[in-house]
Structure 1
Amino acid sequence: MKPAAPATTSAIACLVLIGLLPLLPASTQALLRFERAALLQGEYWRLLSGPLLHADLLHACANGVGLVLLLVLARRSNLPVTPWLLPGLCVGSSVLLLLDSTVSWMVGLSGPLHGLAAWLLIALYRHGQRATALMLLTLLLGKVWLELSQTLPAPTWLSVPLLPEAHVAGLLAGLLMGAAGTALNHLFRLFRPPAQCAARPQP
């Protein structure tokens, strides 16, 4: 039997984790969720654990489906998204912490999912799949605008308030990481030593 790829193993581990965390005792969950006051006091693990923690299993499953869809898109496009997952969680939480002082607490992966989608659209554009990238950008910006303008009704199945601010923070984090990846790629190409030409055979 062919072993699972590292990306597949990482995705499965992430899905199992977000499914198990809502089953923890409430006192433990309180130590894991994104809380602005606790983060400002040095509890920086919440930058990572806050997005992974969900209010309940339904919340976790909904975001898990979104994660799977984006990972499938990345895999079909041959984009190495796995190394960016955990840094993306921390960057998205950091952007939310720095830019919006009104958000006192947050749980859920929806913000980082917006960031992953933003990172993907930049990567797709760079790899020549411009139509797909522009379509994804249009859908993403339209969704966030509708949420911020409160045009869409809040989902009744969600047991925590919808937080468009986290979606905006995730979107900004994804664009930031995508732009950083593009810049690093250009720098690597700029400073990479030229390949030595193969010696020509003597006549």
Structure 2
Amino acid sequence: MQIQHRWLNWFFLGLLCLIIYAISAENITALDYNRESIINGEYWRLISGNFNHTNIYHLLLNLGALAVIGGLHYRYYNSAAYTGLILLLSIGVGVGILWLSPSTHLYVGLSGILHGIIIVGAVIDVTKKYYSGYVLMIGTIIKVINEQLFNSPVEISQLIEARVLTEAHLYGLVTGLIIAPLYVYLNKKKSA
């Protein structure tokens, strides 16, 4: 029963993305990250933009990645810890874009959060002496560095009908590294 309960965390995040996508299908600007709107006081967009998507392909790519990551690390989080993780990563990605990417006016997508989830889970893996944690961490860091130097594949941008904001991946990774010690502590406390 515990395993099924923990999968619900991942299911609800996917469901949230589906609902926001459905609500915004006619008007993608309803909940997206919009720099001008945020500066004018619509601060929720720092968070909600992470859950919206440009099209169904974008949504399915992110939900597929979410399912894979969920399969790797679902056991590390209870509902409260998982909700906090998603909220902290959302804020980290949104604020990172706002402060460090001033030329980005619009953004939607879960991929920044996904990079943060991978890193937090990988750090917990490492503390549990799972070698897969090192592979995940090093692989994700190399991927993000490659994206910063060479950008993302053109094919993905064409599929999602938008430029892949690789900076969001970087901000998710960095936020994940910053908050990982908290989640290592929570995981050890839960296991004790």
Same fold flag (TM > 0.5): yes
Alpha-carbon separation, structure 1, partners of 2:7 and 2:151: 37
CA contact (8 A) 1:96 1:166 kept: yes
Residue ranges of structure 1 left out of the alignment (5+ in a row): 189-203
Alpha-carbon separation, structure 1, partners of 2:187 and 2:22: 41
Aligned-CA RMSD value: 2.6
What's the CA shift for 1:69?
0.8
Does 2:144 match 1:144? yes
Change (3 A) 1:185 1:98: farther
Change (3 A) 1:151 1:86: closer
Spell out, residue by residue over 1:91-120, the C-alpha distance to the aligned partner (whole angstroms, 9 max, x if none): 222222222222221100011111111111
Which deviates further from its counterpart, 143-152 or 44-53?
A: 143-152
Change (3 A) 1:146 1:29: same
CA contact (8 A) 2:120 2:183 kept: no
SS in 1 for 2:150: coil
Indicate which of 173, 176, 179 corresponds to 1:174: 176
Which deviates further from its counterpart, 145-154 or 58-67?
A: 145-154
What's the CA shift for 1:183?
6.7
Change (3 A) 1:10 1:25: same
Residue ranges of structure 2 left out of the alignment (5+ in a row): none
What's the CA shift for 1:143?
1.3
1:59-138 correspondence runs (5 A): 59-75=58-74, 78-80=75-77, 82-83=82-83, 84-129=85-130, 131-138=131-138
Alpha-carbon separation, structure 2, partners of 1:166 and 1:143: 13
Alpha-carbon separation, structure 2, partners of 1:3 and 1:142: 34
Spell out, residue by residue over 1:143-178, the C-alpha distance to the aligned partner (whole angstroms, 9 max, x if none): 112222226532231211111111111111111111
SS in 2 for 1:162: coil
Counterpart position of 1:159: 161
CA contact (8 A) 1:92 1:115 kept: no
What's the CA shift for 1:9?
2.2
Percent identical pairs in the alignment equals: 23
For these two proteins, the number of residue pairs brought into alignment is 183
Alpha-carbon separation, structure 2, partners of 1:39 and 1:110: 20
SS in 1 for 2:160: coil
Which deviates further from its counterpart, 59-68 or 143-152?
A: 143-152
Counterpart position of 1:16: 15
Alpha-carbon separation, structure 2, partners of 1:25 and 1:97: 22
Which deviates further from its counterpart, 88-97 or 2-11?
A: 2-11
Change (3 A) 1:49 1:179: same
Change (3 A) 1:180 1:92: farther
CA contact (8 A) 2:76 2:187 kept: no
Alpha-carbon separation, structure 2, partners of 1:52 and 1:79: 22
Give the TM-score normalised by structure 1.
0.78
